[in-house]
Amino acid sequence: MGIVVDNLQRIREECEVLKMTDKQIKEIMCRLHNDLKKGLSRADHDKATVKCWITYIQDLPNGKERGKFLALDLGGTNFRVLIINLGENHFDMQSKIYAIPKHIMTGTGIALFDHIAECLANFMKEHGVYEERLALGFTFSFPLKQLGLTKGVLQRWTKGFSCSGVVGEDVVQGLKDAIARRGDVQIDICAILNDTTGTLMSCAWKNHNCKIGLIVGTGSNACYVEKTANCELFDGEPEKEELLINTEWGAFGDDGSLDFVRTEFDREVDVTSINPGKQIQEKMISGMYLGELVRLALVKFTRMGLLFGGQGSDLLFEGGSFYTKYVSEIESDKPGDFTSCMEVLEELGLSHASDADMAAVRYVCECVSRRAAHLVSAGIATLLNKMNEPRVTVGIDGSVYRFHPHFHTLMCEKIAQLVRPGLQFDLMLSEDGSGRGAALVAAVACREAEQGS
């Protein structure tokens, strides 16, 4: 039985590469801070990896937003169409989820927008607004260069999408064209926003200290309230002091600045992804990749003879088979209990796993999820230090944050260690970001349009 203990010990040693020291984390924060500044500056923006796009949103919700709005939510887990009614201190919302089959995710842009428009039309029919001309907020969760509240150019696809003819084009126009092609429904103003923006706006509607919106889900990104003066690329009126910035920090590390903490597993995930060399930080944090990182480690240890008696299964060796939800399920077991772990391993054809194997699998999951939580925490702490506000609420959404049993706690602990003394923060689960948040942005767009004309 000495051999068995040695295996677990050796696996722990092998997993040391997944741990970041405080020194390394501080170095990461330093590099991220510099990259944020580069993104905001006119001189360095084009070459910057962290783009810090202007969202053109300068007002957080004031509670006076009113009206009926439609919303679309594309880029998260579900494609959703929503209808929101903003009232005094209350709102009601109805939504429907529509499937996006893989062939549409990877086909032409025209097919994608036609599908979106069809779902929108069906929804409007079902909710009795088919004949109405409402304003719409489009939560579009991909790297977007906004040229205004109602115009945004797709920089690249992420998270498994790859529709042709959309990169470099105005997404709002793509949607408008598809709606025009149908000739049935009509939309008034169409605001476009990122899911982090929606998260922040939705949270800020409830909590006025909310100044950061964070997503840890299929992808990872953050937006925050910056001083207009710092945003050299802003070409609008300077009177308003604040401006919401979409960092697109998923691309942090694309220039190699994270290589000093990356492992062979990260490199393997990157090389076999649909976008190699891009979204490097995101690939260390988000749901699309966490499970795969664990799987690659398990494969390595199996081949070394340290796990499962050296015997894997067809599924273990198949890319993408270790779902990120398994990580959450395995870590939800009480310490010493391996019920969920055993079920997961059975699903993977690894029912011959021993207790020591299961302890090792759990350990690998913990290392990967902890590293993700620490990276996110480093990012949030960097933003908090940069903003230097005494009290900030961080609105958070995303499946990894929502469903992982310890992510929230890990983040609270780590951010507290890294943030400048005297700065207070708290983390709040933001709900309905793509619904309420999108409606709030659409309301702002309508207000501006009225004032403008």
Partner 1 sequence: MSKLCKQVSIESPGPTIKECVFSFDVPVPDVPLYGARIRVVYAGACYRANRTRSTSVCSTSSVSSIGSFTGEMDGYAHTTIPAHIGIRDGALFPGYEVAGIIDAIGKAAERTDELKEGARIVLYPYEGVPHGYAEYIVVPDFKCLVPIPDQLPLSIAAMLPTGALLAMNTVVSASECLKVALEGPAKKDKTTVLIVGTGGLALWALRLATYYFKREEYNDRISIAVATLKDEGFLLAKECEEVNVVQWNEDLYEKQLIERTTDACGGPVDVVLNFGTTSRSLHRSLQCLAPEGVVLVTEDVGERLLSKFAKKAEDLSVSVVVVPNGTIEQLKELVSLVARGDIEPPPHSVYPAEEAAEVVRKLCNSEIKGRAILKFHNVE
Size of the site for partner 1 (CB under 8 A): 27
**184 catalytic residue (yes or no):** no
Catalytic, out of 73, 170, 195, 270:
195
291 binds partner 1 (CB under 8 A): yes
Pairing of strands 67-74, 424-429: unpaired
At 67, the amino acid letter reads G
In contact, 427 and 207? CB cutoff 8 Å? no
Nearest approach, Cβ of residue 243 and partner 1 (Å):
33
Tokens 């000093």 belong to which residue? 260
In contact, 293 and 269? CB cutoff 8 Å? yes
In contact, 204 and 395? CB cutoff 8 Å? yes
In contact, 250 and 279? CB cutoff 8 Å? yes
97 binds partner 1 (CB under 8 A): yes
328 binds partner 1 (CB under 8 A): yes
Give the one residue of 64, 90, 102, 334 binding partner 1; rule: CB under 8 A: 102
SS3 content of the chain, % helix, strand, coil (to 5): 45, 20, 35
CA distance 86 to 69: 8
Give the one residue of 47, 99, 183, 422 binding partner 1; rule: CB under 8 A: 99
Give the one residue of 1, 103, 334, 450 binding partner 1; rule: CB under 8 A: 103
In contact, 117 and 181? CB cutoff 8 Å? yes
273 binds partner 1 (CB under 8 A): no
**64 catalytic residue (yes or no):** no
Give the one residue of 110, 111, 315, 449 binding partner 1; rule: CB under 8 A: 315
Of 15, 13, 87, residue with least CA distance to 371: 15
- Torsion over CA: 55, 52, 268, 357 (sign): negative
233 binds partner 1 (CB under 8 A): no
Stretch 340-369 residues interacting with partner 1 (CB under 8 A):
343, 346-351
Site map 49..78 versus partner 1, x via CB under 8 A: ----------------------------xx
Give the one residue of 101, 128, 336, 452 binding partner 1; rule: CB under 8 A: 101
Q: Which residues of this protein are in contact with partner 1, per CB under 8 A? A: 77-78, 95-97, 99, 101-103, 291, 313-315, 320, 323-325, 328, 343, 346-351, 399, 403
Active centre residues (catalytic):
159, 195
